[in-house]
Amino acid sequence: MNYLVTGGTGFIGKSLVTKLQQKGHHIFILTRTPHEFENTAHTTYIPYDYPAEDLPPIHGVVNLAGESLFGYWTKKKQTIRTSRIETTEKIIAFMKRLESRPEVFISGSAIGFYGISDENMYTENTKTPGTDFLANVVVQWEETAKKAEELGIRTVLARFGVVLGMDGALSFMQMPIKLFAGGKIGGGDQWMSWVHIEDAVNILIFSLTNKSISGPINVTAPNPLRNKDFMKTVATVLKRPFWFHTPSLIFRAATGEMSQLILHGQYVLPMKAIDHHYTFSFPYLEHALRNILNKQHTK
């Protein structure tokens, strides 16, 4: 089959493209800089203004593009918002130009939709979004993606939690522990809804092929942990002490408003994946971390 992917050179996108290639599919990667990449037998890089009529039938589209959340938001809030919304608009316009519409459109989203809470539990049945900056961005992002439904395309909103892999948030979070200065961050009671990169990619592919899945799907593991327990598990796997406490004020000073990604969280369960009988490869954090960190050590 032929799949169209944006963000195909990013952290999650690279893993998704590799997995789809291994399954024998051809991937067309939409990018602003196709000249920077070399086409292969299973991958073709194309610009956003590529003539849609020149493409073979596209069976599914996956949108993973968006400005990174890492960095000082005060300098990039507008970019965080517009990069997601404008890219999604471009993809929908691209799908309109295709001679035959794809069967499914998966648009990357985030559990930031739910807002932040140390007490509430959230599933895909939670309809009321949060009120903070990230929640507002996600609401606009998803409303834009839902326009694909008007084209008769099954639309899935993949709400990612903290995706753990050899890149991404884990490399940022494990550094203090590696330097023997690790411990809980802030109060430590904030929930972390995480997912191994392998499960994140497999849930995307599961959603591509399962015609009964539409609307939001939480891309998280079924066992969230509080920050203090998450960080203690990282320390255990790395065989480092767990004795320092990073106060919220220090963390905010170092990372700015982005600190809310770590200092605040939400307890999110992947009920739609569970109800559709998806089997998690890494449902528990320690197993997930050992798999990731072992790969780091063997590289």
Over 90: is that where the pLDDT of 297 sits? no
The string over 221-241, giving b where at least 16 C-beta atoms fall within 10 Å of a residue's C-beta and e elsewhere, is bbebbbbbbbbbbbbebbebe
> Above pLDDT 90, what percent of the chain?
62
pLDDT digits (tens, 9 = 90+) for 66-94: 655 554 455 567 777 888 899 999 999 99
The token pair at 232 is: 């203690």
pLDDT digits (tens, 9 = 90+) for 100-123: 999 999 999 999 999 999 899 999
* Average pLDDT of the residues of the chain: 87
**pLDDT at residue number 264:** 77
Over 50: is that where the pLDDT of 216 sits? yes
Supply φ then ψ for residue 61, to 5 degrees.
Answer: -125, 135
Least trusted range by pLDDT, from 17-31, 148-162, 172-186, 271-285: 172-186
Q: What is the 3-state secondary structure (H, E, C) of the chain?
A: CEEEEECCCCHHHHHHHHHHHHCCCEEEEECCCHHHCCCCCCEEEECCCCCHHHCCCCCEEEECCCCCCCCCHHHHHHHHHHHHHHHHHHHHHHHHHCCCCCCEEEEEEEHHHHCCCCCCEECCCCCCCCCCHHHHHHHHHHHHHHHHHHHCCEEEEEEECEEECCCEHHHHHHHHHHCCCCCCECCCCCEECEEEHHHHHHHHHHHHHCCCCCEEEEECCCCCEEHHHHHHHHHHHHCCCCCCCECHHHHHHHHHHHHHHHHCCCEECCHHHHHCCCCCCCCCHHHHHHHHHHHHHHC
**Cα distance between residue 235 and residue 182, in whole Å:** 7
CB 145 within 8 A of CB 107: yes
**pLDDT at residue number 92:** 95
Q: Which residues touch 273 (CB under 8 Å, ≥6 apart)?
A: 203, 206, 217, 218, 219, 280
How many C-beta neighbours within 10 Å does residue 93 have? 12
The token pair at 267 is: 């307890």
The token pair at 61 is: 């589209």
Q: Is the Cα torsion angle 35, 36, 41, 44 positive or negative in sign?
A: negative
Binned at pLDDT 50, 70 and 90, residue 99 comes out as confident
pTM of the model: 0.91
Binned at pLDDT 50, 70 and 90, residue 188 comes out as confident
**pLDDT at residue number 272:** 98
CATH of domain 2-294: 3.40.50.720
Over 60: is that where the pLDDT of 275 sits? yes
**pLDDT at residue number 177:** 62
